Each structure stands twice: as structure tokens, then as C-alpha cells.
């Protein structure tokens, strides 16, 4: 991922900043600028999520692309935030520990690097509560 492409999403990746439609009340993370329910009638504002949720489903990744291969095996999951939306994330726990329905909270972590000497990407992972 190129530097500007990462940089412009820093608030979203570091602080779980998503969006909220004031018309219908739905929350979006990853953020959406157009509400799929209200479309042009929707009023979208930024919303910072609490970062608390539960595991909907997961997998343990054993084979990954170069960028993530040093981390294998790592736990990948879909987490449902308390406010409603679901996101894909890594879990900071062992493969034996993870269970569907497990409560988790957001933690700030290094996600990867751009090549050997490139910028470091930080972002959010989730850890058991």
C-alpha cells in the first residue's frame, strides 16, 4: 500500500474513526460517505467507535503473502462492534484462545511495513477482554 493511500486513512486506522448516518441512525466502520439505507437523503457525520465488540468468526492464517508471513500463524477475525458494524482484523491472542462470541477490545499495533526500509504501518488489532 502506497504512503499517501495509508496516510489519508490514519484517523480511521489509528482511532477507529468511522461514520454515522444521523437520518437512519446506522454506524459505519469501515467508514462510508454514502448511507446504503438513505443514500442522498442521509446525513453522514464522523464517529469514533468505542472499540469494544465480539468475535463473529475467525481463522488461523498459516500461509500469507510476504508482508505477513513472519507473523504466521496469526488469528484473523470478523469482529462486530458494540455500535453494530463489523470489520476484519487480526486478534492479539493465540490460535488456541480464540472462540466465536469472545469479547474483544481494540488495541493499537504495528500492522506491517512497506518493504524492508519503508514506512511502518500502524493500526488497530483486537485483544481478548
Partner 1 sequence: MRDVAVIGIGCTKFGEWWDRSFRNLFVEAGVKAIEDANLAGEQIDAMYVGNMSAGRFIEQEHIGALIADYAGLASEHIPSTRVEAACASGGLAFREAVISVASGMSDIVVAAGVEKMTDVDTSLSTDALAGAADREWEGFTGATFPGLYAMIANDYIHRYGLTREQLAQVAVKNHYNGARNPIAQFQKEITLDTVTNSTLVADPLRLFDCSPITDGAAAVVVAPLEVARKFTDTPIKVLATAQASDTIALHDRRDISTLDASVAAGNRAFQTAGLERKDIDFVEVHDCFTIAEICAIEDLGFCKKGEAGKFTEEGATALDGQIPVNTSGGLKSCGHPVGATGIKQVCEAVLQLRGEAGKRQVDGAEIGMTHNVGGTGATVAAHIFGRT
- Where along the sequence are the contacts to partner 1 (CB under 8 A)? 1, 5, 9, 30, 56-69, 71, 74, 76-78, 86-90, 95, 100, 111-112, 121, 123, 125
Distance CA 57, CA 123 (A): 20
Buried b (16+ CB within 10 A) or exposed e, 56-93: eebeebeeeeeeeeeeeebbbbebbbebebebebbbbb
Q: How many CB atoms lie within 10 A of CB 108?
A: 13
Nearer to partner 1, 50 or 99 (CB): 99
Nearer to partner 1, 121 or 128 (CB): 121
Task: Give the nearest distance from C-beta 84 to partner 1 in angstroms.
Answer: 11
Task: Give the nearest distance from C-beta 89 to partner 1 in angstroms.
Answer: 5
Task: Give the nearest distance from C-beta 22 to partner 1 in angstroms.
Answer: 20
Amino acid at each position: 500500500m502506497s504512503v499517501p493511500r495509508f496516510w489519508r486513512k490514519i484517523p480511521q486506522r489509528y482511532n477507529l474513526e468511522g461514520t454515522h448516518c444521523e437520518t437512519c441512525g446506522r454506524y459505519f466502520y469501515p467508514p462510508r460517505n454514502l448511507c446504503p439505507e438513505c443514500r442522498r437523503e442521509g446525513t453522514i457525520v464522523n464517529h469514533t467507535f468505542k472499540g469494544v465488540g465480539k468475535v463473529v468468526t475467525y481463522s488461523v492464517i498459516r500461509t500469507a503473502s510476504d508482508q505477513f508471513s513472519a507473523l504466521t500463524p496469526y488469528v484473523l477475525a470478523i469482529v462486530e462492534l458494540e455500535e453494530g458494524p463489523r470489520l476484519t482484523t487480526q486478534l492479539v491472542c493465540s490460535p488456541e484462545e480464540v472462540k466465536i462470541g469472545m469479547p474483544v477490545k481494540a488495541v493499537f499495533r504495528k500492522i506491517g511495513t512497506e518493504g524492508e526500509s519503508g514506512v511502518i504501518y500502524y493500526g488497530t488489532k483486537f485483544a481478548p477482554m
